[in-house]
A and B are shown apart, each in its own frame.
Chain A
Amino acid sequence: GAVVSQHPSWVICKSGTSVKIECRSLDFQATTMFWYRQFPKQSLMLMATSNEGSKATYEQGVEKDKFLINHASLTLSTLTVTSAHPEDSSFYICSARGQSGYGYTFGSGTRLTVV
């Protein structure tokens, strides 16, 4: 079945530094990648949608200069949290969609803690 590998699983960084999260589709081509943020005991909030080779489309209220998304290939998308602050601490999850069917494959998530 379709697998999306997300790394790192957890990361602790100092306030003001940047953190990169990677999502790779291992056995299919991810034409579209979705990035979500999930606060404790809450639902998933869509941050942005990216199509391979195009600029990401951000949801209202999401700072595109703070959450940089790159989808340069059909198997790799990255989310970079720039100048991270404690309020950016959250669980980030990616989801990839291939060319056929209505399948959304989720990564295992990244727990970001900014101290």
Chain B
Amino acid sequence: AQSVTQLGSHVSVSEGALVLLRCNYSSSVPPYLFWYVQYPNQGLQLLLKYTSAATLVKGINGFEAEFKKSETSFHLTKPSAHMSDAAEYFCAVTEGGNEKLTFGTGTRLTIIP
């Protein structure tokens, strides 16, 4: 069975500082991993996805994530936080051939001016 754990339900960083949102996964087969962002009362927007190609994945808005099989991790980073990055972030996993996305519990990112 697949699962995702997001460490830290709330993360606060100063504007211009590094953003690091943690995600660890569990999967019985090679996973496909995703990061989504959700703004209040809106749906989810895909930031980036890993689908067994390059382990360092670059996404939109300056975000990137690195797939580390040995650590079963897929942490999301951004070198310099912007006020507009304040939102809820979800990590999700699906196993090859299984279409269901399993979401983590989410991390609320707050940017301090």
The interface of chain A, by Cβ under 8 A from chain B, is: 4, 6, 9-10, 32, 34, 41-44, 46, 49, 91, 93, 95, 97, 102-104, 106-109, 111
Q: How far is the CA of A32 from the CA of B95 in the complex (A)?
A: 16
Please pick, from B44, B45, B51, the residue contacting A102 in the complex, using a CB distance under 8 A. B51
A-facing residues in B33-81 (Cβ within 8 Å) = 34, 36, 41-46, 49, 51
Please pick, from B32, B43, B46, B106, the residue contacting A93 in the complex, using a CB distance under 8 A. B43
Judged by a CB distance under 8 angstroms, whether B94 is at the interface is yes
Instruction: Please list 18 pairs of residues, one from A and one from B, whose beta carbons are closer than 8 Å in the complex, sorted by A's number.
Output: A9-B41, A34-B99, A34-B100, A42-B105, A43-B90, A44-B44, A44-B90, A44-B103, A49-B99, A91-B41, A97-B99, A102-B51, A102-B94, A104-B101, A106-B43, A106-B45, A108-B43, A111-B41
The interface of chain B, by Cβ under 8 A from chain A, is: 32, 34, 36, 41-46, 49, 51, 90, 94, 99-101, 103-106, 108
* With contact pairs A102-B49, A109-B43 given, residues A34 and B106 touching in the complex (Cβ less than 8 Å): no
Q: Is the interface of A mostly helix, strand, loop or mixed?
A: strand
* Closest B residue by C-beta to A108: B43
**Apart from A41-B108, A108-B42: 8 A-B pairs, beta carbons within 8 A:** A42-B106, A43-B105, A44-B90, A49-B100, A91-B41, A102-B32, A102-B49, A103-B46
* Closest B residue by C-beta to A9: B41
Question: A43 contacts B104, CB within 8 Å?
Answer: yes
* With contact pairs A43-B104, A44-B90, A102-B32 given, residues A109 and B99 touching in the complex (Cβ less than 8 Å): no
Q: How far is the CA of A26 from the CA of B49 in the complex (A)?
A: 22
Question: B42 contacts A109, CB within 8 Å?
Answer: yes
* Closest B residue by C-beta to A94: B43
* With contact pairs A43-B106, A102-B49, A104-B101 given, residues A6 and B41 touching in the complex (Cβ less than 8 Å): no
Q: How far is the CA of A111 from the CA of B36 in the complex (A)?
A: 19
Chain B contacts for A102, CB-based, 8 A: 32, 49, 51, 94
* With contact pairs A34-B101, A43-B103 given, residues A6 and B46 touching in the complex (Cβ less than 8 Å): no
B13 to chain A, nearest CB (A): 20
Q: How far is the CA of A95 from the CA of B43 in the complex (A)?
A: 9
